[in-house]
Chains A and B, each alone.
Chain A
């Protein structure tokens, strides 16, 4: 187990900056998820940590040791690749035992460890097969077994579940998390699936355009997003955003287009006049509650998921998406009253897009 420290890590490919001055401290045994949209630099950052990619600037430390310029084989890491990269010319047991064989461990020990790892992943009966005789899910397990067999200091995973079907993905999510908890290995896990991130990560690092946007537990990321991007990226359906103005000194938000007024908590430091209000779909209700603001609109689309119902409502100031638990009998074209929970409002500066509430 090591603590991984990234100091101002930067990676450029020619003119594109894939990773832009990222500094993070990852604690011993922590499960950290790198989350972000496609092309934001997740894979590149992971590859920098693995040593497959040389950083352009910055340093990477494992505990106190500088590994920035070490080749991958000297970092005591292992990795699960997105396409698994299980070697097709080796049997499953030779794939799993490979890292140990390279380290010239005695045959007896290799066998014991391979057995241990394959039991952990429930693939003991596949050991004598070749990879082309396995299903995608089985191959994925082999890749994970190979990654844990040498008991690495750091375990890196690049979207290991993205090639599996939905059901298996949910199952593997908990299995990998449990496995990591029992091995207590420092783990860095790349995904663009926010559900995976929320359910698996001790902490989540949200990236955009190679820059770290926010790092924190799922609770913090969800309820206290630091900027507009994180607020919009996390949560499904997406947070509603409304352009607003603030009436000078009165701490009241005015929704610009309709004159709707929403009171703000008194302690907010308001400077400029233009802001973006954010409110999550589940924080808009259809029953009146204290400290709420009433808006009216017309339902124009209903997503009946049965576990919840998502309403798309046209109001004077644009579309609002509302999520209500359970079945709700609503017809498209009906008028409806909505109640925005004033205590759940987010506020972002229009120019910097930073959160101030």
Chain B
């Protein structure tokens, strides 16, 4: 047989196995999320026969996952907003200017990630209670911004470093001030990368459960809400909850994968 064919067959097999490895849990989560409780507990079928939306209905309305989803979305959006307002200028400065202590600063930014959020969560709660923002949206937003900001700074700095400085200088020569050159030339050129890092920030915030659980009681984000309700419910609710958690991330990644790939410097073509 010809070598090329064996090669592509092997590639196909290996890629298939890897895909299966990652897809199997997702497939089972999806199946179980929609399975009727009877089918779910029936040991005769691996793949359920009857499907229903009732778990979703219960989860969203009885266990207030709907409210939690809205909170999660707001938290993620505000986290992106805040971390970009702070992180994009910082990333730009790190990529464009030379100054004393630049590398130390970069390291310091990164080193804030040395402290796990779990360690920060309790002191944060105490501080938030003192200033009266515990169990509020803004409390979680602040915590999530802290978590996401180092990444936004470092990622955007490498995105801006990838935009040739000559494009910006040409804009300065041809009549723009520094700030206008940034908004008219640099920003549009950096946009794909920035979009990718926004998605990255979104997913980090969306998936964060620990701090959200500690900082809130009434205004829980989706993961925190699920942790405290669905996990005490019958098994199929857990799968339904998992499905709800996974889908937005998957949808985002699907639409953003071009940008996400460009973020890590690989090109899809």
Let me know if A280 is at the binding interface, CB within 8 A. Answer: no
What 0/1 pattern do residues 184 to 196 of B give for CB contact below 8 A with A? 0100110000000
- Residues A102 and B174 in contact in the complex (CB < 8 Å), given A83-B164, A89-B189: yes
Which single member of A73, A89, A150 contacts B172 (CB below 8 Å)? A73
- Residues A150 and B174 in contact in the complex (CB < 8 Å), given A89-B188, A89-B189: yes
In the complex, which residue of chain A has the Cβ closest to the Cβ of B172? A72
Let me know if B166 is at the binding interface, CB within 8 A. Answer: yes
Let me know if B177 is at the binding interface, CB within 8 A. Answer: yes
Let me know if A279 is at the binding interface, CB within 8 A. Answer: no
Residues in B neighbouring A99, C-beta threshold 8 A: 174-175
Let me know if B176 is at the binding interface, CB within 8 A. Answer: yes
Residues in B neighbouring A286, C-beta threshold 8 A: none
CB-CB contacts below 8 Å: A54-73 with B: 71-73
Which single member of B166, B176, B185 contacts A83 (CB below 8 Å)? B166
Which single member of A78, A85, A103, A150 contacts B166 (CB below 8 Å)? A85
CB-CB contacts below 8 Å: A71-123 with B: 71-73, 77-79, 81, 83, 85, 87-89, 98-99, 102-103
CB-CB contacts below 8 Å: B156-175 with A: 164, 166-167, 169-175
Closest CB in chain A relative to B12 CB, distance in Å: 33
Which single member of A73, A83, A85, A88 contacts B175 (CB below 8 Å)? A73
Q: In the complex the two chains form, is A85's CB within 8 Å of B172's CB?
A: no
Closest CB in chain B relative to A330 CB, distance in Å: 49
* B interface residues, how many (CB within 8 angstroms): 16
Let me know if A52 is at the binding interface, CB within 8 A. Answer: yes
Q: Which of B169, B170, B172, B185 has the most CB of A within 10 A?
A: B170
Q: In the complex the two chains form, is B173's CB within 8 Å of A73's CB?
A: yes
- Residues A78 and B174 in contact in the complex (CB < 8 Å), given A85-B164, A89-B188: yes
Q: In the complex the two chains form, is B169's CB within 8 Å of A81's CB?
A: yes
**In the complex, A313→B196 CA distance in Å?**
65
**In the complex, A71→B166 CA distance in Å?**
16
Q: Which of B166, B167, B173, B188 has the most CB of A within 10 A?
A: B173
Which single member of B170, B177, B178 contacts A85 (CB below 8 Å)? B170
**In the complex, A68→B164 CA distance in Å?**
26
**In the complex, A103→B175 CA distance in Å?**
7
- Residues A52 and B173 in contact in the complex (CB < 8 Å), given A83-B166, A85-B164: yes
Q: In the complex the two chains form, is A87's CB within 8 Å of B175's CB?
A: no
Let me know if A50 is at the binding interface, CB within 8 A. Answer: yes
Which single member of B164, B177, B185, B189 contacts A73 (CB below 8 Å)? B177
Closest CB in chain B relative to A297 CB, distance in Å: 50
Which single member of A77, A83, A88, A89 contacts B173 (CB below 8 Å)? A77
Q: Give the dominant DSSP class at B's interface.
A: helix
Q: Which of B166, B174, B176 has the most CB of A within 10 A?
A: B174
What 0/1 pattern do residues 31 to 62 of A give for CB contact below 8 A with B? 00000000000000000001110000000000
**In the complex, A88→B172 CA distance in Å?**
16
Closest CB in chain A relative to B180 CB, distance in Å: 8
**In the complex, A79→B166 CA distance in Å?**
11
Residues in B neighbouring A98, C-beta threshold 8 A: 174
Q: In the complex the two chains form, is B176's CB within 8 Å of A73's CB?
A: yes
Q: In the complex the two chains form, is B169's CB within 8 Å of A52's CB?
A: yes
**In the complex, A346→B174 CA distance in Å?**
46
- Residues A72 and B166 in contact in the complex (CB < 8 Å), given A88-B189, A89-B188, A89-B189: no
Let me know if A139 is at the binding interface, CB within 8 A. Answer: no
In the complex, which residue of chain A has the Cβ closest to the Cβ of B175? A102
Which single member of A51, A71, A79 contacts B170 (CB below 8 Å)? A79
Which single member of B164, B174, B178 contacts A146 (CB below 8 Å)? B174
Residues in B neighbouring A83, C-beta threshold 8 A: 164, 166
**In the complex, A89→B167 CA distance in Å?**
11
- Residues A81 and B175 in contact in the complex (CB < 8 Å), given A87-B185, A88-B189, A89-B189: no
**In the complex, A87→B167 CA distance in Å?**
6
Which single member of B166, B177, B188 contacts A81 (CB below 8 Å)? B166
CB-CB contacts below 8 Å: B56-80 with A: none
- Residues A78 and B189 in contact in the complex (CB < 8 Å), given A85-B164, A85-B166: no
Q: In the complex the two chains form, is A71's CB within 8 Å of B172's CB?
A: yes
Residues in A neighbouring B176, C-beta threshold 8 A: 73, 102
Residues in A neighbouring B178, C-beta threshold 8 A: 71
What 0/1 pattern do residues 109 to 149 of B give for CB contact below 8 A with A? 00000000000000000000000000000000000000000
Residues in B neighbouring A52, C-beta threshold 8 A: 169, 172-173
Residues in A neighbouring B174, C-beta threshold 8 A: 73, 78, 98-99, 102, 146, 150
Some 9 contacts from A to B, beta carbons below 8 A apart, are A52-B173, A72-B169, A77-B173, A78-B173, A79-B173, A81-B169, A98-B174, A102-B175, A146-B174
Known: A52-B169, A87-B185. 5 other contacts (CB 8 A): A72-B172, A72-B173, A83-B166, A87-B170, A87-B189
The residues of A with any CB-CB pair to B shorter than 8 Å are 50-52, 71-73, 77-79, 81, 83, 85, 87-89, 98-99, 102-103, 146, 150
The residues of B with any CB-CB pair to A shorter than 8 Å are 164, 166-167, 169-178, 185, 188-189
In order of increasing CB-CB distance, the 3 nearest A-B pairs are A102-B175, A85-B166, A99-B174
